[in-house]
Amino acid sequence: MNHKWNEIKKQENIRVLAAIGLTALLLFLISVAGTLQNGKQTPAPALKEAPVKKAKAGGESVPDKAEIPLTEADKEFLDSLTSYFDSGDLEGAARLIDSYGLTFTEFPIMYDGTVLSKEMTGTKGMVFLKPTTVFYGEFEGGLPQGQCTALQVITLDEGKRYDYSYGTWSQGRMNGSGASGYNYYDGAIGDINKKSAKEGNFKNDLMEGEVIYTTTNASGETAKWDFQTADGVIVPDDRWIQENDDEGKVIYKRMADQDENHAYTLSESGIKEDRWKNFIEFSTD
């Protein structure tokens, strides 16, 4: 009796296992059939990639994140400032900068005539280091390279003035012929000079060789000197007079060329300073 029961139980187990095996095979065949299409294996679905920004319909490009949006007033200001630089009217450029009041807060920024951007990749245009300091001309790698003009507008107790430097630049520094100086366009009354200009050759922002120095006072009187310099420091010659001032301190004096009424005077320490240099360095610090 027990033997017969065991046989029945054994046969039932075999039938169950066979049913399970057939079911698994059927599921496998169904899955394989689902991946086949027209005799070819259907590739597994690819992972979705992040969407890539493309040009808008009609060819209009999507603005770069570095681009700074411009209002109509901003565009008019930048184009007008470009015109002043192109015509060499630095006073006009200074007055425009002072009156407009640039509101951008991220610097440096570059305007290439079309776009204002935080990326200075253009080869010609205008770079603002801050709202009142701008460089205009040729650039390479974000630095002045070639012919360039720098302008800085300053408001002082004695009046408003602009400092300037223009000429040949290399790797962000003045290297070659050029000039640097200042001009009070409002104010400057009394004994201070209204204009000052240093012209000559520059080497890494310092003047080298002969320098022509010209000043104009509030009364319109102009005086001119020619100095010799090395690394931005005056090299005295026999035209310099050494004497003592009213306090007994040593001073050095040079009379203006063809004008005995104007003298350029320096202290003993002042004559050793590298004061003959580019007024406006290109620095993003």
Confidence (pLDDT) at 103: 83
Distances in Å between the alpha carbon of 175 and those of 202, 211, 260?
5, 14, 34
Separation CA 199–CA 71 (nearest Å): 39
Judge whether residue 220 has pLDDT over 90.
no
Find out whether 87 and 136 touch, Cβ atoms under 8 Å. no
CA 190, 194, 198, 204 torsion-angle sign: positive
Q: Decide: 228 and 210 in contact? Cβ < 8 Å.
A: yes
Stretch (H or E) spanning 22: helix 2-34
Instruction: Say how many CA atoms lie within 13 Å of 147 toward its Cβ.
Output: 3
Please give the distance of CA 61 from its chain centroid, rounded to a whole number: 24
Band the pLDDT of 219: cuts 50, 70, 90. confident
Mean pLDDT value across residues 69-88 = 96
Q: What pLDDT does residue 64 have?
A: 61
What is the mean pLDDT of the segment spanning 213-231? Answer: 93
User: Across the chain, what does the average pLDDT equal?
Assistant: 83
With a CB cutoff of 8 Å and minimum separation 6, the contacts of 187 are 156, 158, 159, 160, 161
- Res. 54 pLDDT band, cuts 50 70 90: very low
Opening angle at CA 126, ends 121 and 128, nearest 5: 95
- pLDDT of res. 15: 54
What pLDDT, on the 0 to 100 scale, is given for residue 57? 44
Q: Would you say residue 105 has pLDDT above 70?
A: yes
Which range has the worst mean pLDDT, 151-155, 191-195, 211-215?
191-195
Q: In this predicted structure, what is the pLDDT of residue 62?
A: 52
- Between CA 260 and CA 244 the distance in angstroms is 19
Strand partners, 231: none
Residue 150 token pair: 């720098």
- Per-residue confidence band for 40, with pLDDT thresholds at 50, 70 and 90: very low
Give the residue from 166, 161, 169, 167 showing the smallest Cα distance to 150: 166
Give the predicted TM-score (pTM) of the model.
0.76
Q: What is the mean pLDDT of residues 215-233?
A: 93
Chain centre to alpha carbon of residue 268 = 38
Pick the residue with more confidence: 244 or 1? 244
pLDDT (average), residues 98-116: 92
Q: Residue 237: what are its φ and ψ, rounded to 5°?
A: -125, -170
> Does 114 have pLDDT greater than 50?
yes
pLDDT digits (tens, 9 = 90+) for 133-150: 999 999 999 999 999 999
- Does the pLDDT of residue 91 top 50, yes or no? yes
pLDDT attached to residue 53? 38
From residue 157, alpha-carbon distances to 6, 95, 130, 186, 249 in Å are: 116, 17, 21, 11, 29
Residue 6 is predicted with a pLDDT of: 44
Q: How confident is the model at residue 55 (pLDDT cuts 50, 70, 90)?
A: very low
